[in-house]
Structure 1
């Protein structure tokens, strides 16, 4: 398919790598986990990839049944790329891989995109905290909207409009990175006007706790 190389090994690991082992393939899947995206959106979220390589990876993933291309037709003539049901089965694998990769001793390079920031919430979510964080929360980040629903010991996050969320956060990606990176506190961002929170006080607190959980250092045991 599309000239892809094969390991020629019947092991499930090798067969999986035949499909998603090419450079950029897994990152394309990552950026589709929260919902469909247009080609230019994917290109913007993967700053190191060329349009030709991205087109090739999308074509290969589509041929293998991991990604589906949906044509919206006139007058928009826009193509949306989304994961198939089989493609979505990669989510727990990618989240676990992200947990493993975050422990790398190498210093991180580059900046986290909005999808990566929100997927960090899913990767770090503690099911035991679901009762105290339960609710529906909207994130308006630049021109994109995301909805996080916490219920039944899980958090589900998707790209798209939110209907009457309990609390809403509105900001830009730069401010969000600064807050999550602990370069500025949430309170300071709100005071400056760079970030807005709406909803009742308890819902705003739950949204804040949910957002910052992956980026809050775990308490260290007391020395004896």
Structure 2
């Protein structure tokens, strides 16, 4: 399918030509914490059809936002991973997350939710408690870790090898912290 374009000689327009299609930035969000299989992406993007997911992955690969690698026995499984150009979108996602947090409102009965979708706003909350270092955060069955440096915050799947801070949150607490309704509980605080 030919690429649609705004045909504006503008940096925002060019960026949206590449990542502005529906689902593209959510696919990038899913890949921010590490490589994912197609089935993982499909499971964590409720509402996307298999045809749309396949098309978006091909477009993002064509545009050098992600790569597709074969892994496993006989290289039977495809794993998608952000390229350096894709990873460079993280600050834009973080800014959208910050702006969007103010517009979340109450969760609607039709809203899907995944614990790792709170990774970006939780990262900002973790950085307020731990300005530099590594933190592991458990949200129910989901575990991710943050690396916080003077260059910013990144999050990754699974626990850190060595953590300066380890937190266990349930999903309601993670939601409240992510939306700013609650301060991040730390191991030495009484709020949990």
Alignment TM class, shorter chain as reference: 0.7 to 0.9
Alpha-carbon distance change, 30 to 142 in structure 1, aligned in 2, over 3 angstroms: same
Could you tell me which residue of structure 1 aligns to residue 26 of structure 2? Answer: 27
CA 105–92 in structure 1, closer or farther in 2 if over 3 Å, else same: closer
Out of 115, 135, 138, which is 1:137 matched to?
135
For these two proteins, the number of residue pairs brought into alignment is 181
Q: Aligned-pair RMSD on alpha carbons?
A: 2.9
Distance 1:22 1:155, change over 3 A: closer
Structure 2 CA distance for aligned equivalents of residues 23 and 29 of structure 1: 12
How far did 1:75 drift?
A: 4.0
CA contact (8 A) 1:95 1:122 kept: no
1-side partners of 2:130 and 2:165: how far apart? 16
Residue 94 of structure 1 pairs with residue 88 of structure 2: no
1:167 Cα offset (Å) = 5.4
Deviation track 1:41-86 (CA, whole Å, cap 9, x = no partner) reads 1111110101110010000000001111111152461111111101
TM-score, normalised via structure 1 length: 0.68
The farther-off stretch of 84-93 and 146-155 is 146-155
Look up the match of 2:70. 71
C-alpha contact 2:97 2:120 (8 A) present in aligned 1:
no
Contact 1:62 1:68 in 2 (8 A): yes
Kindly indicate whether the alpha-carbon contact (under 8 Å) linking 2:24 and 2:60 is maintained by their aligned counterparts in 1.
yes
User: Are the counterparts in 2 of residues 43 and 54 from structure 1 also a CA contact under 8 Å?
Assistant: yes
Gaps of 5+ in 1: 183-211, 219-224
CA distance in structure 1 between the aligned counterparts of 2:146 and 2:167, rounded to whole angstroms: 11
Question: What is the aligned partner in structure 2 of residue 15 from structure 1?
Answer: 14
Distance in 1 (CA, whole Å) between partners of 2:130 and 2:172 is 26
C-alpha separation in 2, matches of 1:108 and 1:102: 12
Structure 2 unmatched runs, 5+: 184-192
SS in 2 for 1:31: helix
Q: Indicate the SS of the match to 2:73.
A: coil
Q: Confirm or deny: 8 A CA contact 1:118 1:157 kept in the other structure.
A: yes
